[in-house]
Structure 1
């Protein structure tokens, strides 16, 4: 079994090719990464394509910057992008372009289309891309000219190929409708799965459970979770003297791109900590509230994790302190390195867990972010289980207005049917 997955990191992307045995045991993982760069040279801009090993692809360089030097710069940039698709595909199937056969051309169109209805490319195909037939035709026009320029024997297959229509693959296999949110029942399955996962240590079980709870029970985004530090908790007592905690969500200079808090002030140097706007609610920071028990569970995990690293004589990566003096640390760290938890590691575990629990994930074009579905579930719980009015729910979800919350209102057919039955029962009084 072959699984192909497009991985996006910031503005860059690469492909991961995983091979599994018949018993679903992972055999190998390959990464395919081609990078485009451009530099000014003699009053023109040169475009270069680099492979996994950082080597410039000479044929592409010569084709774009010498053979096609007379065309517009924007066209040469587009040609470079189209040829990157070709080389990425070549790396995915691990076959030199000069040796392509007719069936490889078929697979190339599948790759460009962003879906694989007949499993001609891989058993599982996960991609963000879905190019139109017009775009695929434009890519093929460039690729045909390029392989002819290179003198590859495979050029005849590119030139003879005419079926750049999706219907050439038969009836398109529909992507299973993928719910946009995690339901309460699914959340229970997830927590039970973690608790019974023998591959995880007790410490990892604590960490993963807390992260998913922060997203589902409190509506935090993944970046907000990974950016939490020890100093972000504040003790609060209500009028009855009961203790709970305020959790501050904010950005720091020490944060990585995976730890950014949306809609919070972006840092612009250390002086930002002293700026009055940094300490203004809904501008410099946002807040959520935790029970004493939830807070204690988080601190217990941190104590267990930090004690282990201390025994291993490893120093935890520090987070900036707001006062610039105190010691401060992030809450969630990687298992082996004392650095903030990698979002990619958590993503891989989440996706595998979803597959094992039969929680739908996008099969072809991925539009439903795995992490954001927890926050989405929080919103749906407020609206459909607790029946909290949208204007009040906005205060808990940290949306500015009901319009911002509206995009989270995506009930399933079962939920709509149940609501319709309730309406029918109510209207029977007036029948």
Structure 2
């Protein structure tokens, strides 16, 4: 099995196909990918779906199954296989650590069930009632009101452990930024920290997106980016940054950026032999690994974004404003995923509450 990246004449961005062991295109997956593309899914989403479906087909091949053999029990076995891959009829009595976390398994299963739903809608796939038995989320049928609100609950979904993602202190952030050797690297990390941007959003920036005179950065979705960096949800938004960050951007352009480039990507490679090429996702991950090694501070790029969101809430920002700044589709995502309060935060807020009660007496 292989996921193959392809270019299409009438598309300005790449698409992905799934090939079998004989390097033949798997037709149902190709039709599904076309459907995803036609309904506006991003290239990165389509790529992820291809890799998720690759796992399904590897599972079926290992067990000698076809799509028509898939039932409720087979999907449940697939979930178990994702966590603990084993050969058919092999029973491992030794305790093993799962190779995939619950959230990862749920994400893969959601893609697989979407694929099976699509095939069911075409009418040429005999399988279980996907809508009622295997959906990754609670599913309400269009006659749900007749059934007094009772509907089939999600049964094929692992209970994910809620992670408390650590946020960085101001001292740690300063150490991280000071450990950068180039203005480009400092600017990259500061945009994730002060702007709350994702890696893809940082790397997708073009010179025309930066309004230095107004300290604004416009995040503009584009169908094609040669470095395959895209804006999640394809939603346009504008964020405001400090004068200091914008001054760093200007210094970067003056000292490290060339005016002779044939493109207008903001972030470029500074390596000899690769100078001027648009920076890629892996380069940012490599940068973070180097900074972790220099500072001994264990952090991830997304932790900078988490820290930014939490600090905004601590400083009194309304959560709806934080949601808009971060580019979330739902305000609950902001609350559940990106906002983290420490015990000290809770203590400080309770003390404010007590002080307010005293003043009212």
- Given the two structures, how large is their TM-score scaled by the length of structure 2? 0.53
Q: By how many angstroms is 1:210 displaced?
A: 0.7
Aligned equivalents of 2:165 and 2:94: distance in 1? 31
Cα RMSD for the two superposed structures: 5.1
Pick the aligned partner of 1:387 from 316, 324, 334.
Answer: 316
Q: By how many angstroms is 1:298 displaced?
A: 1.4
Q: By how many angstroms is 1:222 displaced?
A: 1.4
* Offset from partner CA, 1:249-280 (integer Å, 9 cap, x none): 1123441474211233xxxxxxxxxxxxxxxx
- The alignment partner of 1:247 has SS state of strand
Kept after mapping to 2: 8 A contact 1:334/1:342 = no
Kept after mapping to 2: 8 A contact 1:214/1:220 = yes
Kept after mapping to 1: 8 A contact 2:184/2:256 = no
Aligned equivalents of 1:259 and 1:44: distance in 2? 28
Pick the aligned partner of 1:182 from 162, 168, 190.
Answer: 168
Q: By how many angstroms is 1:71 displaced?
A: 9.7
Count of residue pairs brought into register by the alignment? 259
Q: By how many angstroms is 1:411 displaced?
A: 0.8
Q: By how many angstroms is 1:177 displaced?
A: 6.9
Q: By how many angstroms is 1:189 displaced?
A: 2.5
- The alignment partner of 2:171 has SS state of helix
Pick the aligned partner of 1:192 from 159, 172, 178.
Answer: 178
Structure having the higher helix fraction is 2
1:144-159 matches, cutoff 5 A? none
Question: Does 2:188 match 1:252?
Answer: no
Question: Does 2:302 match 1:335?
Answer: no
* Offset from partner CA, 1:221-251 (integer Å, 9 cap, x none): 2111111111212354xxxxxxx33322112
Kept after mapping to 2: 8 A contact 1:227/1:260 = yes
- The alignment partner of 2:218 has SS state of strand
Kept after mapping to 2: 8 A contact 1:334/1:340 = no
1:4-403 matches, cutoff 5 A? 37=20, 64=61, 68=64, 73-74=69-70, 106=94, 109-110=96-97, 112=98, 114=100, 178-194=164-180, 202=181, 205-234=182-211, 236=213, 244-256=214-226, 258-264=228-234, 285-307=236-258, 316=261, 318-319=262-263, 328-333=264-269, 335-336=271-272, 337=274, 338-351=276-289, 353-354=291-292, 357=295, 359=297, 370-384=300-314, 386-399=315-328, 402-403=331-332
Kept after mapping to 1: 8 A contact 2:210/2:216 = yes
Aligned equivalents of 1:417 and 1:231: distance in 2? 45
Structure having the higher strand fraction is 1
Q: Runs of 5+ in structure 2 lacking a partner? A: 6-17, 29-57, 107-160
Q: By how many angstroms is 1:217 displaced?
A: 1.0
* Offset from partner CA, 1:51-85 (integer Å, 9 cap, x none): xxxxxxxxxx9x948x947995548x98x989x98
Kept after mapping to 1: 8 A contact 2:187/2:249 = yes
Aligned equivalents of 1:69 and 1:187: distance in 2? 51
Q: Runs of 5+ in structure 1 lacking a partner? A: 1-9, 13-34, 46-60, 91-101, 116-126, 132-174, 195-201, 237-243, 265-282, 320-327, 362-369
Q: By how many angstroms is 1:218 displaced?
A: 1.6
CA radius of gyration, larger in: 1
- The alignment partner of 2:271 has SS state of coil
- Given the two structures, how large is their TM-score scaled by the length of structure 1? 0.46
